[in-house]
Structure 1
Amino acid sequence: MKRISAGLLILFMSISAKSQVKVGFEVSFTEPQAHYAEMEMNISGLVKDYIDVKMPVWAPGSYLVREFAKSVEGFSAAAGGKTVPVEKIRKNTWRVYSAKAKSIKIRYRVYAFEVSVRTPFIDESHAFLSSTGIFMYPDGLLNLPSTVKVNPFKGWGKVSTGLEPVAGEKFTYTASNFDILFDSPIEVGNQDVFEFMASGVKHEVAMYGGGNYDKERLKVDMAKVVEQATAIYGENPNKHYTFIVHNFNTGGGGLEHLNSTVLGASRRGYTNEKTYKGFLELVAHEYHHLWNVKRLRPIALGPFDYDNENYTTNLWVAEGFTSYFENKLMFRAGFNTMAQTIQSMATAVAGVVNTPGAKIQTVAEASYDAWIKSYRPNENSSNTTISYYSKGEIVGMLMDLEIIQATKGAKNLDDVMKTMYAEYYKKLGRGYTDAEFKTMVEKISGISFTEFWKVYVNGTDPIDYTKYFGYAGVTVKNENEGKSVPYLGVASKITEGKVMISSVSRNSAAWDGGLNVNDRVLSVDEIYIDSALERNPAVTGKKVGESVVVRVLRDGIVKDFKIALKANPNIKLLATLKEDATEAELKVRNKWLK
């Protein structure tokens, strides 16, 4: 028998000791109308003088420190039926002085009353448990398995989650580690549940809040999205997948998880074709995350640090590319025509070009600064920042077209994503760096992307959209070109009948002339203003170069500003398919979308 070294023996003993540690949760609801979850956490086999338990400060996929511990109250612990001392030692950490007890029982309550896809919410009708805002973990032991038993409130009869059920135990689930538990939201109540099969995987849809949806139509259409997304990567890694859909009077947004997603929707929007299509776009976006970011991910995004920000410069790939593939999936699934798809992309290009912040912040910087800027916008954000969603979507489109052009229609961005998934998720089991992603793009395309990265990823150069659309035989026309339209450069909103300035665009007439956000507009050239200032005839009826006198109320003081109107700098793009496209252009076009 081979002798085991002392170091290995200690390691084996450590692993064995951890394998004896058990963590179980029980979730109950005694006052759901007051928005509380009653939590019980049982830890056994961790024999120490004290145990530190923590609550995450953020939810993966939503890059903002949300301080979930702020909603915790009544934290207490017991061992052997007796209360043991506890102490809060950090904003999200409680120390339990367990005195080497073999098992301890921790109790706490969580207040949950924020409606979003990333935060828990509880009322008399249901409980949505966004796991990072509900469950705690023993410090340093994220790899431990755990079980969760849900005790629905009286009258509630269903639980929907991506967690694995424990055989023979009703409403009891297991997670092999805390990363999986924190990536598995739970819906409890009387949600309407239906299923469909797609790509060999059972998909459950849990609808909360009612609505005018057609279940049979959704089964067919959602399956089309699933099939097209799976086709990109060649496999669907899940045994089952859960859509948790919250239907409100007005709703939106989504958050991806390992084998589930949470979507917000408008309960009466399913019979409106535009709104229905918007819901399917949301499905396409979040489902594509199943591969991009949940498995194929920037290296900083896992293993997660739940105490702090996890910085990466690659959210433009994780989120921006997902927005881009959302367009491709909608076309491939048959929901949009090719003309509609390219026009949507042209409009997205214009949206980026027309954002002043696109000239200030790179898409890599936008990714890194998500934690302090993206989720905390202010009145000046459009002047200083660009969304890694919108700019990333455009970078994905440009990169796709560049690859197709370079390979004469043989390869595209799909090939990059599929190969990256196989290499870094399946083979290496880790995330990728920015340099590694660039290397793969160059390998697939056969050309250098150094200049591309310099211009579009790490730079703020203008987008050469005419060149890239031209590869695919698409003509793009700026409908504002040659026009001289007067432009004040503000956005306004009507608040209790008052016209209030809500933003001022960088280098616009209003910017130069001194108008401020929160100014109440009283008149223009002594004409009373009671509608949106930017569309008011008192402004639009003027000529470029003419001046207007804008009277505002600022901090209780009436002020007049004489402002010389400038020409509107914004572009409006119209994309059309060339009827006389060359064979090479048609080859690019077909590889691009089909």
Structure 2
Amino acid sequence: MITRALLCAAAAAFVATPALAATPSIDTYRLAPVIENGKVTALSVTITLPADADGETRLRVPQDWGGGEKLWRFIKDPVVTGGTLSRPDEKTWTIKSKPRAPLTVRYRVVSAYDGEPPVDSPNYGQPIVGPDGFYVIGHTVFVTPEGRDDDKARFSWDPAGSGLVFASDLESLGRETGTVNAISESVAVAYKDLTLLQRDAAGAPLRLAVRGKFGFTDAAFADMAAQTITASRAFWGDGKEPFLITLVDQDGPTGWTSYRGTGVGDAFAVISTRNVALNDYKLFLAHEYFHTWNSNRIGGLKDGPEEPLGYWVSEGFTDYYARKLSLRSGFVDLETFVAAWNAALEAYGTSPGRALPNAAIAERFWNDKAVHKLPYQRGALIALLLETRLKTQGGLDPVMLAMRDYAKGRDPAEWDHAAANLLPRIVKARTGVDLTPEIERWVIKGEPIVLPPDAFGGCLTVEGVSRPEFDVGFDADASAKTGVITGVKPDGPAYAAGLRDGMKRLGRQGGKPGDSSVEIAYVVEDAGAQRTIRFKPEGKAMLDFQRVVMPKDLTLEARAACVKAVAG
């Protein structure tokens, strides 16, 4: 422990010795659980850092990140040693002290959730704390000095006698210095039953921290993750740094499947219901690992509310490459590749927000499920069309590599702080193609994108589909909640099949949400007798979208040729 006397002596030496004043300081972050009655009730954070040169140190408190809003609500009881803390508002901390005085900041972090985070939330960008452990993203729990992201920093974990098994990409900062930005761009997880595994991925260590019981072994998940990471590293030709994946399970309603993740530089964090099949993670993992480069290393994203304006590149191009590189490496087969594209094309073509301008998508991204996936879909389509347009000049791949090379070591202010703004500059410089009209039409204005029949090349073709909208013809949510059928429309498909208000709802069979071509069935009790009523949930309106078609019974040679033409 550093005593008050030693701190004062260190401060005096700092002022009196000019040589020491030039020595770069190291900010330190210590994380520990708060244990009460054997349960984790909060996290304790202790930060030591020098004050700013003018004696006024402004601290950046977590605010909005990853869909989590007003994250400062979960930061409690700040105490400062070495200066005087003022809080002019809930989001701002200012410390007045002697210039460059040593400061110590302590506070607690409490959970954002009463229990587990809801499975139907579009994000989990808020602290998950207690009772058996915690799962947090650095952006949501660490206070950082304003304007000092490049300050050197170290990190330490104090289990406080809890017996928790801990994993974080910050562990390396206990052995060597990193930056304050790395403190924010991190994940930390700790539970007594956390399982740790390690694999080699293209010559670099891959660590996995898994908590929960799934329908597959932890080893199988680790092997699959190593395979997809190897494929991305082969594309970029770098990325040999250690990497961490954290996977934590959560409860969900019967029949509900949910998995969500976020990339944080040299790690990505996943939370998932236990019923997700191993193969369902394949493209998801490929997407998340590709974020190691896109967008931070190819131009970045704007900070604050404007960040979603660039998601058509950061998310859409990542979706495109997750499918393409997975097919190229054999991580997924042609059928899986086509199925992923068809799911995206159907969701895009039938989305009520399909024609929204980019500004409206950015404004509603975190709060409106109808637009949440639009940047993914729109960006992937633009990437595909750009690949086709640049085919004679090597396609999109060299553009992505050139963006990385150009952005390395340069100030993002040169291209207005976003990969979406750097992209057209690099395309124009390398190929002479001006993307401005397409970006204006498809992104800024939101004009719907229609693929040509030969967009994929190879053996795949694109065709138009028209079918009735999905409509079960009664209030399915209210009926599921009360157990009694209600809101049956006299002119709807449920009524025509025999479903009536007042029947007791015993269960649902089959069906595919959003797909009116798949028969659905409801088991009901009617006048004391059990019945199963089946019908297609076809509404009155017609929906038009596109889908990818592959020939049946491809020979091995024809399949290989098709994969090569489609994925390179």
TM range (shorter): 0.7 to 0.9
| Greater Cα shift, 190-199 or 31-40 | 31-40
Q: For residue 140 of structure 1, give the secondary structure of its aligned residue in structure 2.
A: coil
Residues 176 and 41 of structure 1, relative CA distance in 2, 3 Å threshold = same
Per-residue CA shift, 1:169-219, capped at 9, x if unaligned?
Answer: xxx466532211100212233421111111221110011234343244334
Query: What whole-Å deviation, never above 9, does each CA across 1:546-565 have from its counterpart, x for those lacking one?
Result: xxxxxxxxxxxxxxxxxxx7
Q: Which residue of 1 aligns with 2:57?
A: 51
**SS class of match (2:466):** coil
Pairing of 1:284-303 with structure 2 (within 5 A): 284-298=286-300, 300-301=301-302
Point out where structure 2 has 5 or more consecutive residues left out of the alignment: 1-16, 118-122, 253-257, 517-538
Equivalent-residue separation in structure 2 for 1:499 and 1:394 (angstroms): 41
Equivalent of 1:568 in 526, 533, 542? 542
How far has the Cα of 1:100 moved from its partner? 5.8
| Alignment correspondent of 1:355 | 351
SS at match of 2:298: coil
User: In 1, are the aligned partners of 2:485 and 2:501 still within 8 Å (CA)?
Assistant: no
Question: Secondary structure, in 3 states, of the residue corresponding to 1:389?
Answer: helix
The sequence identity of aligned pairs, in percent, is 15
User: Contact conserved, 2:197 with 2:219, CA < 8 A, in 1?
Assistant: no
Give the aligned partner of residue 35 of structure 1: 41
CA separation of 1:157 and 1:572: change in aligned 2, threshold 3 A: same
* Structure-2 change in CA distance of 1:148 and 1:216 (3 Å): closer
Q: Give me the whole-angstrom Cα distance separating, in 1, the residues matched to 2:261 and 2:199.
A: 20
Does residue 422 in structure 1 map to residue 413 in structure 2? no
Q: Does 1:227 align with 2:230?
A: yes
> Shift of the alpha carbon at 1:75?
1.6
Aligned to 1:4: none
Tell me how far apart the structure 1 counterparts of residues 225 and 551 of structure 2 sit (CA, whole Å).
Answer: 29
Whether contact under 8 Å (1:319, 1:388) holds in the other structure is: yes
Counterpart of 1:373 (choices 364, 376, 386) is 364
CA apart distance, 1:17: 4.6
1:20-419 to structure 2, matched below 5 A, reads 20-31=24-35, 33=39, 35-44=41-50, 49-59=55-65, 62=66, 64=67, 66-79=69-82, 85-98=84-97, 102-114=101-113, 115=117, 117-163=124-170, 165=172, 172=174, 175-190=177-192, 191-236=194-239, 238-250=240-252, 251-269=258-276, 275-298=277-300, 300-301=301-302, 308-311=304-307, 313-359=309-355, 361-362=356-357, 364-365=358-359, 369-370=361-362, 372-377=363-368, 382=370, 387-404=374-391, 407=392, 411-419=394-402
- Deviation of residue 437 (structure 1)? 1.1
CA distance change for structure 1 residues 260 and 491 in 2, over 3 Å: closer, same or farther? farther
Structure 1: gaps (5+ residues)? 1-12, 167-171, 270-274, 502-508, 516-520, 541-564
**How many residues in Structure 1 have an aligned counterpart in Structure 2?**
500
- Provide the secondary structure at the position in 1 that maps to 2:147: coil
Q: CA deviation at 1:451?
A: 4.4
Compute the TM-score of the two structures, normalised by the length of structure 1.
0.72
1:418 CA drift (Å): 1.5
CA distance in 2, matches of 1:310, 1:325: 24
Separation in structure 2 between the aligned mates of residue 424 and residue 117 of structure 1, nearest angstrom: 30
Partner of 2:501: 528
Partner of 1:547: none
Deviation at 1:386, TM superposition (A): 6.5
**What is the distance in 2 between the residues matched to 1:131 and 1:294?**
16
1:411-453 Cα deviation digits (max 9, x unpaired)? 2222221121112236777755645412433555564545433
How far does the alpha carbon of each residue in 1:35-70 deviate from its partner, in whole angstroms, 9 at most, with x for none? 3112222234657655332313133xx2x4622211
Q: In the alignment, which of 457, 462, 470 is matched to residue 476 of structure 1?
A: 462
Map Cα deviations across residues 447-485 of structure 1 (whole Å, 9 max, x no partner). 45454334433344443324343744423344536xx78
User: How far apart are the structure 1 equivalents of 2:474 and 2:372?
Assistant: 17
Letter in 2 for 1:292: N
Residue 255 of structure 2 aligns with which residue? none
Secondary structure of 2:386's aligned partner = helix
Take 1:467 and 1:317, find their aligned partners in 2: how far apart are those partners?
24
Matches of 2:441 and 2:64 in 1, distance apart?
32
Instruction: Answer yes or no: is the 8 Å Cα contact 1:56–1:133 preserved in 2.
Output: yes
What is the distance in 1 between the residues matched to 2:332 and 2:502?
Answer: 41
Matched ranges for 1:414-493 at <5 A:
414-425=397-408, 432=418, 434-442=420-428, 447-469=433-455, 471-480=457-466, 492-493=476-477
From the superposition, tell whether residues 500 and 436 of structure 1 become closer, same or farther in structure 2 (CA, over 3 Å). farther
- Taking structure 1 as reference, are residues 159 and 435 closer, same or farther at Cα in structure 2, changes over 3 Å only? closer
Amino acid at match of 1:327: R
Q: Give the C-alpha shift of residue 345 in structure 1.
A: 1.2
Helix, strand or coil at the partner of 2:107: strand
Q: 1:156 to 1:394 in 2, by over 3 A?
A: farther
What SS does the corresponding residue of 2:49 show, helix, strand or coil? strand
Task: Write the distance in 2 (CA, Å) between the matches of 1:588 and 1:569.
Answer: 30
Q: Would you say the 8 A contact 1:131–1:185 is kept in 2?
A: yes
Q: Which residue does the alignment assign to 2:534?
A: none
Q: What is the DSSP-based 3-state SS (H/G/I as helix, E as strand, rest coil) of the residue aligned with 1:456?
A: helix
CA contact (8 A) 2:48 2:104 kept: yes
Report the alpha carbon displacement of residue 332 of structure 1 after superposing the two structures with TM: 2.7
Q: Equivalents in 2 of 1:239, 1:469: separation in Å? A: 36
TM-score (norm 2): 0.75
Contact 1:65 1:309 in 2 (8 A): no
